[in-house]
A = this chain, B = another copy of it.
Amino acid sequence: MAQAIDLPRNEAGIATALGVLKQRFGDQFQTGQAIRDQHAHTTTWIRAQAPDAVVFPASTQDVSEIVKICATHKVPIIPFGTGTSLEGHVNAPAGGISVDMSRMDKILAVHAEDLDCVVQPGVTREDLNTHLRDRGLFFPIDPGANASLGGMAATRASGTNAVRYGTMKDNVLSLEAVMADGRVIRTAQRAKKTSAGYDMTRLLVGSEGTLGLITEITLKLQGIPEAISAARMSFPSIDAACRAVMTTIQYGIPVARIELMDELNVKAANAYAKLDLPETPLLLLEFHGSDRGVIEQAEMFGSIAEDVGGTDFATTATAEERNRLWKARHDLYWATLQLRPGAQGISTDVCVPISRLAEAVTGAQDKAAELGLLAPIVGHVGDGNFHSLVLIDMEDASEIERAETFTAFLADEAIRMDGTCTGEHGIGQGKMPYLVKELGATTEFMSAIKGALDPQGIMNPGKIFGPRRD
């Protein structure tokens, strides 16, 4: 793929840094081919570009030393969480050192009274939620994968719960980070709000490792709701489903999740999980609140959705029933792959104003059909964010080319509709050309910030900023 361009390597600097790091970090430092390859695994169609070595810091002090060594020798530093990023973030196009945060996996503090906690970047969201459960608390952001919280902060991740709880930008109170010169900063105190200077927290959230390495994260938490219920409803068309979503959001119904599956996805789910859902567009919902509140929310949604032609409304309250109802969604990735065994699934990630959602989704369906691609759609539709999972035979050059045409079409259309080429996956290598299309001169000011905070360009080079694509 064109996105994974190799950048010039500083061979002398890399060789020296490898020696210094080996001496300093011993067994925490690895250069075996298998481990290097594993750290460039991108879970996408972007060609892997392995780092020269992988180092496993155990503390902020370790990270600071690694950065100082790399800064001295002008060697690229690529942070690594769980490797579930989707746009080539962990690739090493100029070589360099992958900094694997998996040993920085301590939950440092839970402040139940303040509804926050402090974690190291290698803690995964599932580990955190397991730890919190007995305290009656949870961390709501759920991008699907059991990603590390450092990686989620770095890519400004979100997922199914964002319609109610926001994205990582809304749920990180403060970060500790090692900057490009090895200095350690804390972006904010632990107060719930602040007007103290520039919002360095939000600048680092979503910076994809290009400004600093996140070494500690203070996260907002939520009380586990008294009640959680779920619902599903089928619709005669994407347009009808999207109108139901728009009205639900406008009425201020505080849905916790509202997910769209298109007819192709419903078919896949039926086949995979032996369900008998009507093979038309489907909305799956989750409600959080009091016992009475969740019933009220479900009733209000049901009434709104029936008005636009929704049918087969099913609702539930017990965890077991809810899990059965949501099974179609949870298994979707695997179910979809079964539509075409052997194919690779490539996820797109556009997000549009919700008033344009029906047009964007049906436009994507039509374009996929025109190009002869199999590309079922699932969407976090309360936010106007949806993913086509394009199923590609990676041996077929024509199909790859058509898939590139398709992803470019989606990005262009989203931008035309005042939306974005990436709702939650980030720019990485894959979306660089679209960032410039989307934000124009704004990217030059982003570049100026990058230049000011990382003058040597050693922090995850070759990500976010790339060549123009007209």
- CB of A353 within 8 A of chain B? yes
Bound CA span A114–B352, Å: 10
Verify B179–A443 contact, CB threshold 8 A.
no
A384–B191 contact, CB under 8 A?
Answer: yes
On whether A196 and B438 interact (CB within 8 A), knowing A111-B353, A169-B202, the answer reads: yes
Q: Which residues of B contact A188 (CB under 8 A)?
A: 420, 439
Would B383 and A193 count as touching, CB distance under 8 A?
yes
B190 and A199: CB pair below 8 A?
no
CB neighbors of B among A95-127 (8 A): 111-116
Closest to A354 in B: B114
Closest 8 CB pairs of A and B: A202-B202, A452-B452, A113-B355, A190-B418, A194-B420, A191-B351, A191-B419, A195-B426
Mark contacts of A433-470 with chain B using CB atoms, 8 A cut-off: 1 yes-contact digit, 0 otherwise: 01100111111011011111100000000001000000
- Does A223 have its Cβ within 8 Å of any Cβ on chain B? yes
Chain B CB within 8 A of A403 CB: no
User: Which residues of chain A from 349 to 374 have any CB-CB distance to chain B below 8 Å in the complex?
Assistant: 349, 351-355
Contact between A354 and B113, CB atoms less than 8 A apart:
yes
A162 contacts which chain B residues (CB < 8 A)? 193
Given A192-B383, A419-B190, A449-B453, decide whether A115 and B199 contact each other with a Cβ distance below 8 A: no
CB-CB under 8 A for A427 and B355, given A223-B250, A296-B293 = no
CA distance A155 to B198 in the complex (A): 10
In the assembled complex, A425 has its CB within 8 A of some CB on chain B = yes
Name the residue in A155, A167, A202, A352 with the highest tally of chain B Cβ atoms < 10 Å from its Cβ: A202
The 23 listed contacts between A and B (C-beta, < 8 Å) are: A114-B353, A156-B195, A156-B199, A162-B193, A183-B441, A188-B420, A190-B353, A191-B419, A194-B420, A194-B422, A195-B420, A195-B422, A196-B431, A196-B435, A197-B439, A198-B206, A198-B207, A202-B202, A222-B252, A290-B300, A293-B293, A449-B449, A449-B452
Interface residues of A (CB under 8 A from B): 111-116, 155-158, 162, 166-167, 169-170, 179, 183-200, 202-203, 205-207, 211, 222-223, 225, 246, 249-252, 254, 290, 292-293, 296, 300, 349, 351-355, 383-385, 414-415, 418-427, 431, 434-435, 438-443, 445-446, 448-453, 464
**How many copies make up the complex?**
2
Given A115-B250, A203-B203: A193 in contact with B225 (beta carbons within 8 A): no
For A414, what are the chain B residues with a Cβ–Cβ distance below 8 Å?
Answer: 191
With contacts A113-B355, A384-B191 taken as known, whether A186 is within 8 angstroms of B442 at the C-beta atoms is yes
Determine whether the beta carbon of B439 is less than 8 Å from that of A186. Answer: yes
